[in-house]
């Protein structure tokens, strides 16, 4: 409820039944999450589909505040951090999430082979699981890189044409 006062809060990556139980046991009325409880319209909420969990939080008067997109697009947020991690130069934005902010960043790196680029991703993101498409197999050198936190699939059509790789 907009008018409710926060008496206790908890941070979580996502809402789930365990967090709901903790909230009820510890008199917590506000949950701050990264992922939103609902990605579609609030009108989709009902007890007959996968969106029944957010209704449980509402029923118990527990506020849920999600920072997902705001944290991705804000100055110094996840998009900017990815640009910094990959040492992008001449950074520009793309992928309008609203009229004031863009979710994507793109820029240039020193010319690099695709094999070395994969190693850089593994090192910079501390992962050994890299998926790529047929197009990536065909390129030899990479200079221009675009980044979006999360899947970014809804922004594919907005990726600038001069980009060699989209992460």
Confidence of residue 99 (pLDDT cuts 50, 70, 90): low
The number of C-alpha atoms within 13 Å of 66 and in the hemisphere containing its C-beta is: 12
Angle at 71 between CA 35 and CA 36, to 5 degrees: 20
Residues 141, 119: contact at Cβ < 8 Å? no
Residues 163, 143: contact at Cβ < 8 Å? no
At residue 87, does pLDDT exceed 80? yes
Secondary structure E strands in 4-140: 9-12, 30-33, 63-66, 89-96, 102-113
pTM of the predicted protein model: 0.70
Q: What is the mean pLDDT of the chain?
A: 85
Q: What pLDDT is attached to residue 43?
A: 63
- State what percent of residues in the chain have pLDDT above 70: 86
Q: What pLDDT is attached to residue 166?
A: 92
* Burial profile 123-143: b = 16 or more Cβ within 10 angstroms, e = fewer: eeeeeeeeeeeeebeeeeebe
Rounded mean pLDDT, 31-36? 83
Lowest mean pLDDT among 14-23, 43-52, 55-64, 157-166: 43-52
Give how far Cα 90 sits from Cα of 87, 97, 99, 118, 141, Å.
10, 21, 22, 22, 18
- State what percent of residues in the chain have pLDDT above 90: 42
- Read off the pLDDT of residues 40-79 as tens digits, 9 standing for 90 and up: 555 655 566 556 777 788 888 888 888 776 777 778 888 9
State how far Cα 129 lies from the chain centre. Answer: 18
At residue 163, does pLDDT exceed 90? yes
Q: What pLDDT is attached to residue 115?
A: 93
At residue 105, does pLDDT exceed 90? yes
């Amino acid at each position: 409820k907009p008018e409710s006062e926060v008496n206790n809060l908890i941070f979580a990556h996502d809402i789930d039944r365990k967090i709901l139980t903790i909230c009820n046991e510890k008199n917590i009325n506000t949950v701050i999450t990264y992922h939103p409880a609902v990605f579609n319209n609030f009108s989709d909420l009902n007890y007959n589909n996968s969106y029944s969990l957010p209704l449980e939080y509402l029923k118990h008067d527990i506020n849920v505040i999600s920072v997902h997109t705001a944290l991705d697009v804000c100055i110094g947020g996840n998009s900017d951090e990815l640009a910094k991690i990959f040492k992008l130069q001449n950074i520009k934005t793309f992928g309008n999430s609203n009229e004031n902010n863009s979710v994507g960043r793109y820029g240039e790196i020193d010319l690099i082979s695709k094999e070395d680029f994969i190693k850089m991703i593994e090192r910079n993101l501390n992962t050994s699981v890299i998926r790529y498409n047929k197009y990536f197999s065909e390129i030899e050198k990479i200079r221009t890189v675009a980044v979006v936190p999360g899947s970014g699939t809804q922004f594919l059509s907005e990726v600038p044409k001069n980009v060699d790789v989209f992460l």
